[in-house]
Structure 1
């Protein structure tokens, strides 16, 4: 099943069930928020969040205020997640502070860059597990144990380490993917995995890798390209 969605490129990966607050000041995304708010009651107020693969959603500008030459338009990853609008605060300057929650994953199809002030895309909804999975249940217990060890290496507050983690394997897999100090590329690969058990196995490998590095050098590697990228404006 396919649908057409407004698309919001970001320098981060959104997962189902995770909260994403955004400050909206660019006019095209103000228009998107107004469009969502004006929808009839009962209509889904959601847009697609897709991580940027290359380029900048808003090109850097030179001293004259014009976009710098040679900066290509943004390219997107293939899989994103819808953000459901939960709270909107209109600001005196016409911008918005919004709170959204990740809802459902999709694969990006044809992108329309001209039909609206903001990007829209044909999207294909990706499957989510509905039946209990014994393998995922067993893996979830292992991920919880390894994740607590990992948290003990990056957090000093015992309460944060002992906080309750979800028992549902799919919910847990999304929480771990969004919470661990991973690169956008790592998170994107996890988002694209359809099977919960496969996602949990991948997270076990990543958590063990990160924990080993933290024990050795007390640091988590981040590509220099990500450190050099300008902040996302919206």
Structure 2
């Protein structure tokens, strides 16, 4: 198991607030405030759920979700995350909200993203599942005028984007949050972006900077969607079922 090579494993955390967290590698990026349902079938993560459920009342039931940077096919084929899998450096904690135990011993759980963190060091041997020493990343306590102005622009462009990808975007548009930080997380999680794009957005500490980056991405995606819609579809592509991915 390795991390993003942009930082050194086990680097000093002087002056930072740190904690040790269980870590769940996934092929997706979780953002604060967003819901993430999971089906838990692997024994090591069944043990993690049992550990969280067994914590005293009032104790935080959360674990770290970290996107896999490389080696996902290896992990998927083996039914586990380990070995040659490389994790991104920045992740988000998932707070356990609902647990359904299944007849085969697995679990269906519902989690909500809570806090961003940066991995300082991964530990593969202390617990049945991965754990990591993490640094909590700052979240803005209040937004400024620049973030408010950018949020209004992002909402406008995001509505245009939704009109191209959703049959009825009005319902979603009306529910867009006004808080710039919450909006930035929602847009990052909802737009059809690559894991790499989402990971870069998650790693940005400043709300205004994240909104600026989202404006660039949304403008890019909107332009691509409009171009694709303007290109006629060849008849041979309509003749049969779509090819598998």
User: Would you say same fold, with TM above 0.5?
Assistant: yes
C-alpha distance 208-120 of structure 1, shift in aligned 2 (>3 A): same
Give the corresponding residue for 2:8.
none
Q: How does 1:95-174 map to 2 (within 5 A)?
A: 95-174=106-185
Give the corresponding residue for 2:199.
188
Aligned length: 214
The CA RMSD measured in Å over matched residues stands at 2.0
Please tell me whether the aligned partners of residues 155 and 161 of structure 1 are also in contact (alpha carbons under 8 angstroms): no
1:39 to 2:55 alignment: yes
Shift of 1:132: 3.0
Q: Which moved more, 1:190-199 or 1:209-218?
A: 209-218
Moved over 6 A (4+): none
Give the corresponding residue for 1:14.
30
Instruction: Structure 1 unaligned segments of length 5 or more: list them.
Output: 220-226, 229-234
Shift of 1:44: 0.3
Q: Decide which of 84, 90, 95 is 1:73's aligned counterpart.
A: 84
Please tell me whether the aligned partners of residues 150 and 212 of structure 2 are also in contact (alpha carbons under 8 angstroms): yes
Give the corresponding residue for 1:29.
45
Q: Decide which of 73, 77, 97 is 1:60's aligned counterpart.
A: 77
Shift of 1:72: 5.0
Structure of greater Rg? 2
Please tell me whether the aligned partners of residues 19 and 133 of structure 2 are also in contact (alpha carbons under 8 angstroms): yes
Please tell me whether the aligned partners of residues 49 and 80 of structure 1 are also in contact (alpha carbons under 8 angstroms): yes
Please tell me whether the aligned partners of residues 65 and 92 of structure 2 are also in contact (alpha carbons under 8 angstroms): yes
Q: Deviations over 1:35-78 (max 9, x none)?
A: 000000110000000000011373525xxxx99xxx95211001
Give the corresponding residue for 1:232.
none
